[in-house]
Amino acid sequence: MTKTIPPRLILGSASPRRLELLAQIGIKPDALRPADIDETPRRGETPRDYVRRMAAEKAAALVLETDEAALTADTTVAVGRRILGKPADRDEAAAFMRLMSGRRHVVLTAMALRHGSRTALRLVETKVRMRAIDEPSLQRYLDAGDWQGKAGAYAIQGAAAAFIPWIEGSFSAVVGLPLSETAAMLAAIGIHPVSAGVSP
């Protein structure tokens, strides 16, 4: 019986968090190949449509060999129909945090897995509640700089964890990659965790 060789996994992301998350479940990409696309939301585009489009466009933008599969993802924070992307500066980060203070928002993470002529797409939604954030706490948070480069101006595994008493859904999806769903998608094309010291 011939053993099927799984495709080489290309992670289409420069995010160290996504690399760490994959390592957590024993998946090590064969290469990192970040996709360079325009991430501007379209006029009237809903947060869910936006995040799905971003993941799919990142996967489509990568040049793959026949023995490669590409995993891409996009995470965004949504308050109602408003998309909170990566803040441009401290003032925008403050505005985002004030908007979320004392209320719930949704973190949307879409994953795309491109293999051969097919692209599988999944969307995971997680509800997050932030406690009311007083101004001194907000300024200390902004001073720490943890908001930089983060969708919605925060990372749940960082300093902002002090403001989040409750989530409903996937914690790893809020970090950047829903692990259960990702593992299932990869398993469907023959990519499984590799145990240390065990030959594949």
Phi/psi at 78 (5° precision): -125, 130
The band of 200, judged by pLDDT with boundaries at 50, 70 and 90, is: very low
Torsion angles phi and psi, residue 4, rounded to 5: -75, 130
pLDDT over threshold 70, residue 139: yes
Contact (CB, 8 A) for 98 and 147: no
Judged against a pLDDT cut of 90, whether residue 1 lies above it is answered with no
Residues with a known catalytic role: 74
Distance between CA 38 and CA 13 in Å, rounded? Answer: 14
pLDDT tens digits for range 83-112: 999 999 999 999 999 999 999 999 999 999
- Collapsed DSSP state (helix, strand, coil) of residue 22: helix
* CB atoms inside a 10 Å sphere around CB 5: 9
Contact present, 37 and 54 (Cβ < 8 Å): yes
pLDDT at 2: 54
Instruction: Give the pLDDT confidence score for residue 14 in this predicted structure.
Output: 87
Q: Which is nearest to 163 in space by CA: 184, 191, 192, 142?
A: 142
H or E stretch at 183: helix 179-187
Domain range list for the chain: 8-187
CATH T-level fold of 8-187? Maf protein (3.90.950)
The two tokens of residue 9 are: 């996994």
Is the dihedral angle over the CA atoms 40, 43, 47, 51 positive or is it negative? negative
Question: DSSP code of 53?
Answer: H
